[in-house]
Chains A and B, each alone.
Chain A
Amino acid sequence: AQKVTQAQTEISVVEKEDVTLDCVYETRDTTYYLFWYKQPPSGELVFLIRRNSFDEQNEISGRYSWNFQKSTSSFNFTITASQVVDSAVYFCALSEPDSNTGNQFYFGTGTSLTVIP
């Protein structure tokens, strides 16, 4: 079973629209971390956020916001007033402790966002 599911493979929006990228995770641990990363067409990876499991406060950073809901095991990412520069593949990831190998990271398959001017 997938530890991190990003059900939306591709999304297209028109510039200035809001868009939400979904992320559902699976873990039995009470302590874990959730991440979002951005990979623009140029190929580099950009870290966006790390959230620990004990902090369910929503996070806002400029036009980006994240909604963490333990009850639904979701960590959704919303871009407000999207811009062309937001076009990228976005990855959600989970890190959970492993007694044998330390923290383990699991990535979703990514959501490709295209913002149309």
Chain B
Amino acid sequence: DSGVTQTPKHLITATGQRVTLRCSPRSGDLSVYWYQQSLDQGLQFLIQYYNGEERAKGNILERFSAQQFPDLHSELNLSSLELGDSALYFCASSVRDRGLQETQYFGPGTRLLVL
């Protein structure tokens, strides 16, 4: 158990709908990353937050948005869903040790199926 939780584990929805994926990082981890893994696109980085602020943005579509709340949990909002958004969405949190070595801890993922 990595200590990172993601809900829901599975989500089935229809095209055009909107869903929210939730991630709770490990206690004390300030960074949260979101990734998408699909058969077509492989693994892709979506976005990173650090202590509530957006730190880096990857291949995140305009239909998608994310935020990190004061309690450090994060939500990824996917709207106007298309069939191609069907994927496994991972979140990870990270911590840096005193030597500035960063370790990432991944949640179990949310499997989204858009019908």
Q: In whole angstroms, how far apart are the Cα atoms of A107 and B55 in the complex? A: 19
Pick from B54, B56, B88, B101: contact of A104, CB below 8 A.
Answer: B56
Given A43-B88, A47-B92, residue A101 in contact with residue B43 (CB < 8 A) = no
| Contact across chains for B43 and A47 when beta carbons are under 8 A apart | no
Q: Which residues of B contact A43 (CB under 8 A)?
A: 88, 108-109
Q: Which residue of A lies closest to B103 (CB)?
A: A47
Q: Is the CB of B56 within 8 A of A107?
A: no
B48 interface hit (Cβ, 8 Å): yes
Cβ-defined partner of B55 (8 Å) among A44, A102, A106: A102
A27 within 8 A of B: no
Task: Give Cα A51 to B44, complex, Å.
Answer: 19
- The verdict on B18 contacting chain A, using a C-beta distance below 8 Å, is no
Contact in complex: B88, A107 (CB < 8 Å): no
Dominant secondary structure of chain B at its interface with chain A: strand
Give the chain A neighbours of B2 by CB distance below 8 A. Answer: 44
Contact check, B55 vs A103: say whether CB atoms are below 8 A apart: yes
Whether B109 pairs with A101 at a CB distance below 8 angstroms is: no
Contact: B105 with A107, CB < 8 Å? no
Chain A contacts with B in 57-96, Cβ cutoff 8 A? 91, 93
B42 within 8 A of A: yes
- Check if B88 sits within 8 Å of A103, measured CB to CB: no
Q: Closest chain B residue to A107 by CB distance?
A: B43
Asked whether B64 is an interface residue with its Cβ less than 8 Å from the other chain, the reply is no
Q: Which residues of B contact A91 (CB under 8 A)?
A: 43
Are B104 and A105 neighbours in the complex by a CB distance under 8 Å? Answer: no
Which A residues fall within an 8 A CB radius of B? Answer: 43-47, 50, 91, 93, 98, 101-107, 109-110
16 contacts between A and B (CB under 8 A): A43-B109, A44-B2, A45-B106, A45-B109, A47-B103, A47-B104, A50-B103, A91-B43, A98-B56, A101-B57, A102-B57, A104-B56, A105-B45, A106-B45, A110-B42, A110-B43
- Those 5 A-B pairs whose CB atoms lie nearest each other, nearest first: A102-B56, A105-B45, A47-B104, A107-B43, A45-B106
